[in-house]
Amino acid sequence: MSSARVGAIRSQSQLKVTSTGSSSFRSPHAPRNSVLLGDNVPLMAGLPAESVDLVFADPPYNLQLANALTRPDQSRVDAVDDDWDKFADFSAYDSFTRDWLAAARRVMKPNATIFVIGSYHNIFRVGAMMQDLGFWILNDIVWRKTNPMPNFRGRRFTNAHETLIWAARDSSCRSYTFHYEALKAGNEDCQMRSDWLLPICTGGERLKDAAGRKTHPTQKPEALLARVMLAASNPGDLVLDPFFGSGTTGAVAKRLGRDYLGLERDPAYAAAARERIAAIEPLPDEAIAAAPTKRSAPRIAFASLVESGLVAAGAMLTDLHGRHRAMVRPDGALALGQIVGSIHKIGALAQGLPACNGWTFWHFESGGGALAPIDDLRTIARASLAAAAE
C-alpha cells in the first residue's frame, strides 16, 4: 500500500481529541490525527523521542498591547488581547520559548525540520534561542500579505509581513525533506523564492462563532500551511503543531495525505478544530504523490548517450550562446583543442571556472538550428530505461 494511501486512510479515521493530565501523559507511539489537550511542554515530554517528521509552530507573538487599537472612525480593531499572548516581561517570554523549543527538538527525527512563524515582536528572540539550542537555520521566509491591516496612526510603516524560520534539528542534518523540483515546477520553472506573497485568512475560510466573531484571532491561511507541507514533508509523514489553535495544520495535513498531531490547551479551540477537520476531504493519491526528483532518477553517464546513438561521436557541442565548442569523443569524453576530459571538466575549463554542470552548459542542435541542453537527451535515456523495465 502506498504511503499516500496510508496517510489518507489515517486521515479519514475519526479525529481524536484527548483531554489529559499533562504531567502524567505518556505514549509509546506518537498519536496520529489527534488533538491532545493540555500544556504543550509536558505533552511533548510524553511523546517518544525522534517521532515526528515536521513541526509547524505558531506561538504567541508577545505583542505587548497596552491599549486598545482604534481606526480613524474610532471603531475598535479586533486585535490579539487574549491571556495566552500576555507575558510578565521578556524574560518570562524567553523562558516559555526556550522550554517549548527544547521539547519540540527532542521529538524531531534526525532528518526532521521545523517552521516557526512570528512577527517583529518575537521572531528575533526566537531565532537566537533556536541557534542556542542547536537548531540549524536553513532559511528565513517572508510571508508578504496581499491585504495587510494598515497602520491607522500613520506613525510607522504598514506591517505587511510575517517571518518564518525554517530550521533542521542540527547542523549534521543533510537528508531533510525539500521538494525543490516540485516547487520549481509550480513556480513556472523558477526556483521558489523565500518571499511568499499570500493573502491573510478571510472569507469562508475564516472560522466564526454563532455571533459572527472570529473563533481564533490569529488563524493562518491554508495556503501558507500547504506550501510549508508541500515543501518539507511527504505523504504519510507526521506533522506536529504545538500551538494547534483553530486547526489549520490538521486541515491541510488531512487534505494533503499527511498525519498530524495537534497540542492545544483551550478546549474551545480544540472543538472548533475538530469540527473543521472532520469536514475536510483528502485529495486523491495521484494528486499528492511525491514527484520524482533528479537525485532519485537512475544515473546516466554521458558515455551511455554516445553508445546509444543519442549523441554521435564527432559531433560538436556548444554553449547556449555559441562561444565555446567541444567535440564528442567515442569514449564519452569531450575534446577542447588538445584537452580531453568530462563534460563537466571541459565546461569549467572553457569558462575559466573551478566547476561546471556540463549537462546544462553544453547544448546540441535539436533541429532547425535550435539548441537544447544535453540534459534533455539524458531525460530521453531515462525514459527508455523506465519503459524497458515495465
Is it true that domain 32-64+76-285 has CATH number 3.30.360.10?
no
pLDDT of the chain, 390 residues: tens digit per residue: 344 444 444 444 445 656 555 556 787 889 999 999 999 999 999 999 999 999 999 999 886 655 555 545 555 545 555 665 577 888 999 999 999 999 999 999 999 999 999 999 999 999 999 999 999 999 999 999 988 878 767 788 998 999 999 999 999 998 999 999 999 989 988 999 999 999 988 778 878 887 778 777 778 999 999 999 999 999 999 999 999 999 999 999 999 999 999 999 999 999 999 999 999 999 999 999 877 666 667 889 999 999 999 999 999 999 999 999 999 999 999 999 999 999 999 999 999 999 999 999 999 998 788 999 999 999 899 888 877 766
Q: Find residue 270's DSSP bridge partners.
A: none
10 Å CB burial of residue 264 (0-12, 13-18, 19+) is buried
Q: Find residue 116's DSSP bridge partners.
A: 57, 165
pLDDT at residue 358, as a whole number: 97
C-alpha to C-alpha distance for 36 and 44, rounded to whole angstroms: 10
Q: How many CA atoms lie within 13 A of 262 on its CB side?
A: 34
Domain residue extents for the chain: 32-64+76-285, 300-386
For residue 379, give Cα distances in angstroms to 133, 295, 374.
43, 13, 9
For residue 216, give Cα distances in angstroms to 1, 64, 72, 81, 270.
38, 18, 25, 11, 11
Residues 6+ positions from 297 with CB-CB distance below 8 Å = 382
**Side chain identity, residue 319:** D
Nearest to 247 by CA among 276, 215, 204, 281: 276
C-alpha cell at position 23 = 504531567
pLDDT at residue 217, as a whole number: 74
Cβ(255)–Cβ(278) below 8 Å: no
pLDDT at residue 30, as a whole number: 92
pLDDT at residue 4, as a whole number: 42
Residues 6+ positions from 11 with CB-CB distance below 8 Å = 33, 253, 254, 257, 258, 259, 280, 282
Cβ(193)–Cβ(203) below 8 Å: no
C-alpha cell at position 62 = 508577545
C-alpha to C-alpha distance for 61 and 25, rounded to whole angstroms: 27
For residue 350, give Cα distances in angstroms to 159, 302, 334, 342.
49, 18, 11, 12
CA-only gyration radius of the chain, Å: 26
The DSSP letter of residue 159 is: -
Q: Find residue 264's DSSP bridge partners.
A: 37
pLDDT at residue 382, as a whole number: 87
Backbone angles phi, psi at 325, to 5 degrees: -135, 140
Instruction: Give the chain's length.
Output: 390
pLDDT at residue 219, as a whole number: 85
The DSSP letter of residue 24 is: G
Nearest to 62 by CA among 95, 40, 87, 92: 87
C-alpha to C-alpha distance for 318 and 327, rounded to whole angstroms: 9
Instruction: Look at residue 98 and give its three-state secondary structure.
Output: helix
